[in-house]
């Protein structure tokens, strides 16, 4: 009330005449200058939120993340002042020197970044706002080590002590919580980034809205990729074409899974058991159990010779009668065969064997190959190479393909064809029946221990450099 009584007398008169709202008057108390009070009350036409915004345009709310990160004491110690807002619910007021808030926040953030640099991280980025391009970088996860003998012994001792206390005093005993916290601390210490990860990893740091430090770890140093040379054979398939072929193959395997409920059930059990029993990560699985449908977009010219339909279209038609409201009751009332068909279709929609352009097959792709093999699907029976496939290949690649599949005489005959379109037609007609590109074959993404999968790929100029190269599939990053 004292604060309101200090308003300009003419404003108090307006309040008495009910010509200025109490909310607007409260907003005007953010300044003690009577002339400013009159000016902003008139300019804002008495709207409280407009007055508050005009009076604090060049100030920082004390609930802002940057101010909370710096801390009130540090700000005041450097000479910063605060305009107190007695009438703002949940807010203390406004920092009058926003440039000081930014300076202190950047200084503190740089100090934290220097700590990561001293550890040896390949790249450290620190800025007040979350970097906009983080979504383009594959996340890096701490490696898990085995506990030492002392750690293992202590965890066993804690487990035994907790069990003893629970039996004697009940599971809600206050003595259990500190023991559980100690065990959690030991478990957390088993997860840390190793030297190899630090050497190639990046750390992004920013200030979150609640004033805490936001962190993201990613692979910053790209693995060296072999460059095409004139001495070696001409690569057959570009990165982008391999990505397209992996999408087609995924769609065919999805179709097979949707027709095999027993296999679908095994896939779900494998994924859940891998994550919940063996500590695997969802990104290492061939299906996403978070009900995230795998979107598969394939150029129409690559599907010209196939009648494979997206599983989601088939499911939408077959189970259109399931209502959104009352869905659980409807599913409960379904026949067992219909339930299994529904399970198979839904699981199939999450199966993911696609490969990003420029990416490398990882654990997820290896598990996808297991599913493809278990489904017994005949890829060649569901898809044959259209002319559009060869249109996307280089001339030299098509000639080499003929040499490998048909023989040198056929390749030499076609080498004289000048128009690429004519060459594509000739290559298509000379290849054996049921021929499949290497990435389309079952087992193409298997991961033998001794050798990586090799499709004789090169890096296309049209491909995005380093686009989602499946870093997360590496064992040491899991």
Residue 459 has pLDDT above 60, yes or no: no
For the chain, give every domain's residue range: 2-100, 146-189, 239-385+436-477
Residue 463 has pLDDT above 50, yes or no: no
Q: Residue 274: which H helix or E strand, with range? A: helix 261-276
The DSSP code for 375 is H
Task: Give, in order, the Cα–Cα distances in Å from 452 to each of 30, 59, 361, 394.
Answer: 67, 57, 9, 24
CA angle 63, 64, 67 (to 5 degrees): 95
CA angle 47, 48, 52 (to 5 degrees): 120
pLDDT at 59: 75
pLDDT at 472: 38
Contact 75, 99 (CB under 8 A): no
144: alpha, beta or left? (left if phi > 0; alpha if psi -120 to 50): beta
CA dist 109 and 105 (Å) reads 6
Contact 183, 159 (CB under 8 A): yes
CA angle 89, 92, 95 (to 5 degrees): 135
What confidence category does residue 228 fall into, taking pLDDT thresholds of 50, 70 and 90? low
- Say how many Å lie between the first and final Cα of the chain, rounded: 60
What is the Cα Rg of the chain in Å?
Answer: 32
DSSP state letters, 286-320 = SB-TTT--------GGGSTT-----HHHHHHHHTT
pLDDT at 121: 92
Which of 49, 107, 53 lies closest to 75 in space, CA to CA? 107
Q: What φ, ψ does residue 336 adopt, rounded to 5°?
A: -60, -40
Contact 22, 105 (CB under 8 A): no
pLDDT at 27: 73
Mean pLDDT for the chain? Answer: 79
CA angle 155, 156, 158 (to 5 degrees): 65
Beta strands (DSSP E) in 159-259 are 191-192, 201-207, 213-219
Residue 91 has pLDDT above 60, yes or no: no
The DSSP code for 459 is -
What confidence category does residue 292 fall into, taking pLDDT thresholds of 50, 70 and 90? low
pLDDT at 146: 85
pLDDT at 266: 74
- Mean pLDDT in residue range 170-186: 88
- Within 10 Å of residue 380's Cβ, how many Cβ atoms? 15
Higher pLDDT pick, 271 / 210: 210
Cα-Cα-Cα-Cα dihedral of 331, 335, 341, 347, to 10°?
30
Residue 430 has pLDDT above 50, yes or no: yes
Task: Give, in order, the Cα–Cα distances in Å from 439 to each of 246, 248, 465.
Answer: 7, 10, 20
Q: Which residues of 356-371 are buried (b: 16+ CB within 10 A; e: fewer)?
A: bbbbbbbbbbbbbbeb
Task: Give, in order, the Cα–Cα distances in Å from 440 to each of 256, 427, 435, 449.
Answer: 15, 18, 10, 21
pLDDT at 299: 81
Task: Give, in order, the Cα–Cα distances in Å from 328 to each of 269, 318, 322, 350, 390.
Answer: 21, 17, 9, 21, 48
List, in order, residues 6 or more apart from 26 with CB less than 8 Å away: 4, 48, 86, 87
List, in order, residues 6 or more apart from 325 with CB less than 8 Å away: none
Residue 84 has pLDDT above 60, yes or no: yes
Task: Give, in order, the Cα–Cα distances in Å from 149 to each of 123, 153, 246.
Answer: 34, 6, 45
Higher pLDDT pick, 276 / 172: 172
What confidence category does residue 376 fall into, taking pLDDT thresholds of 50, 70 and 90? very high
CA dist 245 and 261 (Å) reads 26
Contact 89, 52 (CB under 8 A): no
pLDDT at 14: 81
């Amino acid at each position: 009330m004292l604060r309101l009584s200090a308003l300009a007398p003419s404003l108090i008169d307006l309040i008495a005449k009910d010509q200025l709202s109490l909310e607007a008057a409260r907003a005007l108390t953010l300044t003690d200058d009577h002339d400013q009070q009159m000016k902003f009350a008139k300019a804002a036409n008495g709207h409280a939120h407009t007055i508050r915004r005009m009076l604090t345009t060049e100030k920082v709310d004390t609930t802002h993340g940057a101010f909370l990160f710096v801390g009130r004491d540090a700000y005041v110690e450097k000479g910063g002042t605060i305009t107190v807002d007695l009438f703002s619910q949940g807010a203390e007021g406004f920092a009058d020197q926003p440039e000081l808030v930014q300076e202190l926040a950047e200084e503190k953030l740089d100090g934290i970044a220097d700590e990561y640099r001293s550890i040896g991280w390949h790249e450290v980025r620190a800025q007040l706002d979350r970097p906009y391009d983080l979504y383009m970088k594959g996340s890096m996860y701490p490696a898990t080590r085995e506990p030492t003998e002392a750690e293992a012994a202590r965890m066993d001792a804690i487990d035994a002590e907790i069990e003893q206390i629970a039996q004697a005093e009940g599971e809600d005993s206050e003595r259990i919580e500190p023991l559980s916290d100690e065990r959690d601390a030991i478990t957390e210490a088993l997860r840390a980034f190793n030297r190899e990860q630090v050497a190639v990893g990046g750390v992004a740091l920013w200030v979150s809205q609640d004033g805490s430090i936001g962190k993201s770890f990613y692979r910053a140093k790209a693995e060296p990729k072999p460059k095409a040379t004139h001495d070696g054979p001409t690569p057959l398939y570009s990165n982008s074409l391999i990505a397209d072929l992996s999408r087609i193959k995924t769609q065919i395997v999805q179709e097979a899974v949707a027709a095999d409920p027993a296999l679908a059930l095994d896939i779900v059990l494998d994924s859940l058991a891998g994550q919940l029993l063996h500590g695997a990560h969802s990104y290492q699985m061939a299906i996403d159990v978070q009900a995230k449908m795998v979107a598969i977009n394939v150029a129409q010219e690559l599907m010209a010779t196939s009648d494979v339909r997206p599983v989601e279209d088939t499911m939408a038609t077959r189970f259109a009668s399931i209502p959104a409201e009352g869905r659980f009751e409807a599913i409960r009332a379904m026949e067992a065969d219909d339930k299994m068909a529904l399970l198979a279709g839904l699981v199939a929609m999450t199966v993911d064997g696609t490969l990003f352009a420029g990416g490398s097959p990882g654990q997820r792709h290896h598990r996808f190959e297991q599913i493809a093999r278990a489904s017994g699907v005949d890829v060649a029976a569901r898809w044959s190479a259209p002319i559009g496939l060869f249109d996307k290949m280089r001339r030299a690649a098509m000639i080499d393909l003929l040499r490998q599949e048909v023989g040198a005489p056929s390749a030499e005959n076609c080498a004289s064809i000048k128009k690429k379109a004519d060459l594509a037609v000739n290559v298509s007609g000379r290849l054996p029946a049921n021929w499949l590109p290497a990435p389309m074959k079952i087992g193409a993404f298997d991961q033998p221990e001794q050798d990586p999968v090799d499709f004789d790929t090169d890096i296309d100029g049209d491909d995005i450099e380093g686009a989602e190269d499946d870093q997360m599939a590496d064992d040491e990053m899991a």
